[in-house]
Amino acid sequence: MRLHDLKPRPGAKHRKKRLGQGESSGHGKTSGRGGKGQSARSGSSIRPTFEGGQMPLFRRLPKRGFSNARFATTYIPVNVEGLNAFDDGARVDEAALRQTGLANGKSSGGIKILGDGKLTKKLTVVADAFSAGARKQIEALGGACEAPAPKAA
């Protein structure tokens, strides 16, 4: 079998529905839009949750409870494997991580160092949070895990 022998499974491909091609085509006259009404008009679109003016389901259901999602701390994850990009004995902080491209994006909680991969260099890492595995790897090589100085309000 060669690449040019590959074909889709029978029934997987359909012809494009050609609308407005005469009455005998099966898609003539109203072109699959039914009779009159809002959905028959050009440019018409009704949002998926619209129920014709009836009170929508999401408004009929009771809303209870509390979600902590708005107040959750979100960290930018950085694996220890990526820290091998720095020189032995270097001090690694958020600015250095962003400069090397290991920490991109916005976060409310700062940076968290995770223990995925193998660290081979002795580093002083300044981050907002460390996983237990990451802290173990960094300190096993004689490095240090530090928390950054609090930001002035």
Q: What number of other Cβ atoms are within 10 A of residue 28's Cβ?
A: 14
DSSP string spanning 1-30?
Answer: --GGG--PPTTS-------SS-GGGTS-TT
Distances (CA, A) of 19 to 13, 30, 32, 41, 129: 18, 9, 8, 15, 59
Provide the residue-wise pLDDT of the chain in tens; the chain has 153 residues: 899 999 999 999 998 999 999 999 889 999 999 999 988 999 988 899 999 999 999 999 999 999 888 888 899 999 999 999 999 999 999 999 999 999 998 877 899 999 999 999 999 999 999 999 999 999 999 999 999 887 766
All structural domains of the chain: 73-146 (3.100.10.10)
Instruction: List, in order, residues 6 or more apart from 102 with CB less than 8 Å away.
Output: 78, 82, 83, 85
CB 54 within 8 A of CB 46: no
Tell me how far apart the alpha carbons of residues 75 and 106 are, in angstroms, rounded to a whole number: 9
Check residue 133 and give its pLDDT. 95
In the chain, which residue ranges form alpha helices assigned H by DSSP? 57-60, 94-100, 132-140
Q: What is the pTM of this model?
A: 0.59
